[in-house]
A and B are shown apart, each in its own frame.
Chain A
């Protein structure tokens, strides 16, 4: 982590880069301290302090993450509702059977979610890398562009969704722009009202909003590559493309894995854009797993069914993350 605090050039005393002396000490610290030398009372004091200082975080993580996750697992097999006259009842696999057999929206939502991720993951990762390469050039004013490309990231996705919803209207900015660059040859369309264009339209704004984040991740990866490697490659007569292929790309391996996994998890969780822009429509063409789970589980108050859908979503995320982990590890 420390290496990455060096992103901006001037290395002040407070930019997180440890002094050489500190680094030496860290190495010492990593070595286990001899156990028997310290009196037992001191060890007990340390153990008590450690537990005490970690307790608030442990209690909160247990209470608001681990218990809810396990509770969701349990509720998936019940008929739980948020406010219900009926008593809580165990219903076995009913909720899962319902999802896979009699709920066509669930199937459509899964399909939409995968389609969204299948486009967003490679495009956003690639576009982010391209931006990172552009803003990694040593030219004047390049920091300003880094800041500009990052501005959509700090803008709330709720705001971004509303803005683009307005721009996507039939008489909106997007259509009038298309109209003017094609000299009226193509009139545009009602992007969000057409089942064929609604999801692609949402893909565009999602990438627009989030790509700056991954640009910075790529950039920090690029900046860890030692300049000597490029010098050596140039000595061997490598051009720009060869330098990228033989130096940049292999050196970015750890960054690549991180970018891949984080974009995938974020893309599979698509919710706000749908909720603000289309409410899953037209005809379920933009409903997603999370949107459907929230809609049934919360808005229709069927907590049990919503929990089951969330559990399915969780398993999907987990499986995909593990597959990616496995694939990226195998290449070693």
Chain B
């Protein structure tokens, strides 16, 4: 491209190569050091979960803290199952998370479709409200939201009859429904959908397809990456919910895993059991992450480009 090749200020070949390889060695040293920094607490957690309390404490002084040596076993895990209904907590979290993600994919993608591909009265207003709500942190309305859901009407089934009642506290719906619609998901979907050519819609319209059919048969199948992104970005906060369920769920049978932590701090914390419990609630997420790490990475990257 440059007609007059300027002489690059290069070092002689051999020294350049040496410089490169020395730099590479340094890069690896730094990368490995950082990997240790990011992994050591988690390695410690998994290792400690296998040891009795006395050994966890006595191993703290050295490398043994990170090695599964000594009296290693699954005693802590069985103790956890004796102390708290882990299975129930895991089931609750799984149910809440799956429903938030699945309902969210449906509701938000339909809204994204309507906002990006259809023309209707009020569309501009809805779009600007969605964008405005992007910067409202949940923490700013968590307290009034508690008051609000405590006063919402609900229908209960009691002794085979449906009873009208007030208040959503202590239920699954209070953990799920407020988090289904998500401004950021709507935004991501509508961004993605607007890259799909509308000529497809028009062709389908001529063939007599309804708008919902176009959404379901044309746009959704072409938007795999957008659905993966939104699923991943909503899965993590749903599984990790803590502030909200501590406020609205007192019933042990309905509690999610993160709130279940509280059982271990009532009197003397049994650290071995705590590590076993935290390992159990972390492992599923880690496995999902490692299995889909490429999708995770591109989802986060996608979330970053808001324009």
Measuring CB to CB, which residues of chain A are less than 8 angstroms from any residue of chain B? 1-5, 7-8, 14-16, 18, 22-23, 25-26, 28-29, 33, 42-43, 45-54, 56-61, 64-69, 71-72, 75, 80, 82, 131, 134-135, 137, 139, 142, 145-152, 154-160, 162-164, 166-167, 171-173, 176, 179-180, 208, 212-213, 216-217, 219-221, 234-237, 254-255, 258-259, 261, 265, 268-269, 271-272, 275-276, 290, 293-294, 297-298, 303, 306-307, 309-311, 313-314, 317-318, 321
Contacts and interface: CB of A to CB of B under 8 A. Distances in A.
A208 to B, nearest CB: 7
A162 B62 contact: no
B140 A164 contact: no
B192 A134 contact: no
Interface in B130-170: 130, 133, 135-148, 150
Nearest to A322: B135
B111 A58 contact: yes
A209 to B, nearest CB: 10
Nearest to A179: B61
B250 interface: no
Contact of B293 (A1, A147, A217): A147
A48 to B, nearest CB: 8
A303 B107 contact: no
B45 interface: yes
A154 B285 contact: yes
Interface in B3-60: 6, 8-9, 24, 27-28, 30-31, 34-35, 37-39, 41-42, 44-45, 57, 60
A236 B205 CA distance: 56
B94 interface: no
Contact of A145 (B35, B115, B286): B35
B135 A321 contact: yes
Contact of A156 (B57, B188, B282): B282
Given A46-B118, A134-B30, A156-B239, A18 B41 contact: no
A265 B139 CA distance: 11
B224 interface: yes
B113 A53 contact: yes
B60 A314 contact: no
Interface residues of B, number: 110
* Most chain B CB within a 10 A radius of its CB, from A150, A212, A318: A150
Contacts of B197: 22, 25-26, 28-29
Interface string B61-97: 1100100000000000000000000000000000000
B269 to A, nearest CB: 8
Contact of B225 (A14, A159, A297, A318): A14
Interface of B: 2, 6, 8-9, 24, 27-28, 30-31, 34-35, 37-39, 41-42, 44-45, 57, 60-62, 65, 107-108, 110-111, 113-115, 118-123, 126, 129-130, 133, 135-148, 150, 177-181, 183, 186, 188, 191-192, 194-199, 205, 210-212, 215, 224-226, 236, 239-240, 242-243, 246-247, 258, 261, 271, 274, 278, 281-282, 285-286, 289-290, 293-294, 296-298, 300-307
A15 to B, nearest CB: 7
Contact of B289 (A51, A154, A293): A154
Nearest to B264: A162
A314 B9 CA distance: 54
A22 B57 CA distance: 61
Contacts of B177: 60, 64
B38 A49 contact: no
Given A4-B305, A293-B143, A47 B298 contact: no
Nearest to A69: B141
